[in-house]
C-alpha cells in the first residue's frame, strides 16, 4: 500500500494489521492499524513507529517518499510496543546516533525496553521545537493511557498527533472520518470503554487543558484507526461525554449458565425490566466477547450479573468478566446479582462482593434460586427486574 499524504509534506507511513483478532483480551474482529507519520521540512521527522513484525513494511513505505537515512529525528509519543517495537530496525536503518524525542517517562521506558544506548532526549510539557517552516509542541498526557504518554501538536497545519487517544481498532480502506461516516463512532466508543475508561478524570482535565490552550486543531491523528479531519470536535465531544460516564435508562443482564436455570432467571429479569420500559440487553458471556459487553457497560445505568455456583464459587466466565470490568472502574451504575445453585449457592454473594468493591450501588439482597426456577421463582426474577427498573428511573428523574 502506497503512503498517503494526509497534509502537504506529511505522510502516513504506518501499516495495517488486517488479521489481528485479539489485542490484550480486546476483540479486534476488523483488525487494526499501527499509524506512524513522516513530516518533511528542513528537519525530517518520524512520529512513532509500528509493531515489530511490521518494521520492514514500515521502512518500505518511508523509502517510497525519502531515503530513510535522511530522517533527522524520531518522536516516540508512547512507548507501548505496538508503537515502539520497530525502533531498533528503524534506528539501524537511519543511523543510531539520531535523536529519539520522548517524555521523561518515555526515556526510562525505552531504555528498559531495548537496553541499547540510543540518543534519547526527553522533552518538557508544552516545550516547542522548530523543524523549519513548522513548529512542534509537546503535550504531556500522563496516564492517557501510560505514564509516558504524550501528544505532539503541529502548529502550522493544526494537526494533533494523539498517540493512543481518540483511536479505534479498525482496519479498512478508509483513512479519514468523512470516508467512514458515523459507523466509526461505535469503534471509537469500544476503544474508549476498554482502554481509556479508567482514566476518565484525567481525560476530562486533558481536554480542558487543550481547550484552555486554544489550540487550532484541524485534524487529529491517533496511532490506531482513522484520522479525524472533517469533524475533529466530534471525537473530542464524545470523549467528554464518555468520560463523564452519564448513565442512560439502559440495563444489561450479563450471565452464564450450566443447565439453563440461570438463563431462565436472566430472561425473566429482563422481562421485568422491559415491562417497565427500560432499554434492556441480555448478554450471555459465551456468546458475547467481554470487550463488546464492556462497550455497552459504558453508558448503561444498571448492570445485573448472574452466575450458577460451581465448586463453591463463580462460573469461570463470570469471574473473568467481573475481573475485567473491575479493572476499568465503571462509575454511576446500579448493580444487582442473581444466580442458581444446587446445594451451596455462594455465587450471588461473591458477585455482590465484586460489585461492591467497584463502588457501584448494589441492590440488596441478590436473588438466588435452587435448581430450576418454578413459576414463583420466575415471578421473583421479574419482580427483581422491576425493582431495578424503578431504582433506575428514580436515578434518571
List 22, 24, 124, 371, catalytic entry? 24
The span from the first CA to the last CA of the chain, in angstroms, equals 53
Q: Is 224 labeled as catalytic in the residue annotation? A: yes
Ramachandran quadrant class, 281 (left: phi over 0; alpha: psi -120 to 50; beta: rest): beta
Q: Are 161 and 153 in contact (CB under 8 A)?
A: yes
Q: Is 80 labeled as catalytic in the residue annotation? A: yes
List 54, 83, 169, 224, catalytic entry? 224
Distance CA 371, CA 369 (A): 6
Distance CA 178, CA 386 (A): 42
Q: Is 29 labeled as catalytic in the residue annotation? A: no
Q: Is 145 labeled as catalytic in the residue annotation? A: yes
Q: Which of 152, 170, 144, 145 is nearest to 226 (CA)?
A: 170
Residues in the chain: 397
Query: Which residues are within 8 A (CB) of 67 and not within 5 positions of it... i.e. 6 or more apart?
Result: none
List 34, 153, 191, 239, catalytic entry? 191
Q: Is 17 labeled as catalytic in the residue annotation? A: no
Pairing of strands 32-34, 15-17: antiparallel
Q: Is 191 labeled as catalytic in the residue annotation? A: yes
β-bridge partners, 284: 255
List 82, 256, 276, 299, catalytic entry? 82
Q: Is 48 labeled as catalytic in the residue annotation? A: no
Dihedrals phi, psi of 278, to nearest 5 degrees: -100, 130
List 54, 58, 78, 83, catalytic entry? 78
Q: Is 82 labeled as catalytic in the residue annotation? A: yes
List 164, 177, 256, 263, catalytic entry? 164
List 54, 58, 83, 145, catalytic entry? 145
List 12, 41, 48, 80, catalytic entry? 80
By annotation, the residues acting in catalysis are: 24, 78, 80, 82, 145, 164, 191, 224
Amino acid at each position: 500500500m502506497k503512503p498517503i499524504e494526509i497534509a502537504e509534506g506529511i505522510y502516513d507511513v504506518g501499516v495495517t494489521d488486517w488479521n489481528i483478532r485479539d489485542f490484550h483480551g480486546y476483540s479486534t474482529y476488523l483488525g487494526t492499524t499501527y499509524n506512524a507519520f513522516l513530516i518533511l521540512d528542513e528537519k525530517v521527522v518520524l512520529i512513532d513507529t509500528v509493531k515489530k513484525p511490521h518494521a520492514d513494511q514500515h521502512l518500505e513505505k518511508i523509502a517510497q517518499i525519502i531515503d530513510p537515512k535522511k530522517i533527522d529525528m524520531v518522536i516516540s509519543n508512547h512507548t507501548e510496543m505496538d508503537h515502539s517495537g520497530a525502533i531498533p530496525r528503524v534506528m539501524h536503518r537511519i543511523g543510531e546516533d539520531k535523536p529519539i524525542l520522548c517524555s521523561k517517562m518515555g526515556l526510562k521506558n525505552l531504555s528498559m525496553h531495548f537496553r541499547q544506548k540510543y540518543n534519547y532526549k526527553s522533552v518538557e510539557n508544552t516545550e516547542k521545537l522548530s523543524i523549519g517552516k513548522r513548529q512542534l509542541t509537546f503535550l504531556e498526557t500522563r496516564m492517557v493511557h501510560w505514564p509516558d504518554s504524550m501528544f505532539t501538536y503541529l502548529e502550522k497545519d493544526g494537526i494533533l498527533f494523539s498517540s493512543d487517544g481518540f483511536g479505534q481498532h479498525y482496519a479498512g480502506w478508509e483513512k479519514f472520518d468523512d470516508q467512514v461516516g458515523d459507523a466509526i463512532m461505535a469503534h471509537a466508543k469500544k476503544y474508549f470503554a476498554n482502554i481509556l475508561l479508567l482514566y476518565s478524570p484525567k481525560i476530562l482535565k486533558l481536554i480542558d487543558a487543550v481547550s484552555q490552550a486554544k489550540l487550532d486543531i484541524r485534524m487529529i491523528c491517533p496511532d490506531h484507526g482513522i484520522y479525524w479531519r472533517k469533524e475533529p470536535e466530534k471525537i473530542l465531544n464524545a470523549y467528554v461525554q464518555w468520560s463523564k460516564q452519564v448513565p442512560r435508562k439502559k440495563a444489561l443482564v450479563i450471565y452464564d449458565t450450566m443447565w439453563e436455570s440461570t438463563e431462565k432467571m436472566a430472561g425473566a429479569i429482563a422481562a421485568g425490566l422491559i415491562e417497565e420500559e427500560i432499554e434492556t440487553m441480555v448478554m450471555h458471556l459465551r456468546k458475547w466477547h467481554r470487550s463488546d459487553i464492556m462497550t455497552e457497560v459504558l453508558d448503561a445505568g444498571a448492570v445485573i450479573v448472574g452466575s450458577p455456583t460451581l465448586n463453591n464459587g463463580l462460573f469461570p466466565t463470570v469471574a473473568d468478566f467481573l475481573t475485567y470490568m473491575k479493572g476499568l472502574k465503571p462509575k454511576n451504575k446500579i448493580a444487582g446479582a442473581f444466580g442458581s445453585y444446587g446445594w451451596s449457592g455462594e455465587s450471588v454473594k461473591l458477585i455482590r462482593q465484586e460489585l461492591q468493591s467497584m463502588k457501584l450501588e448494589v441492590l440488596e439482597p441478590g436473588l438466588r434460586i435452587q435448581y430450576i426456577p418454578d413459576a414463583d421463582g420466575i415471578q421473583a426474577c421479574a419482580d427483581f427486574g422491576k425493582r431495578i427498573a424503578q431504582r433506575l428511573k428514580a436515578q434518571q428523574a
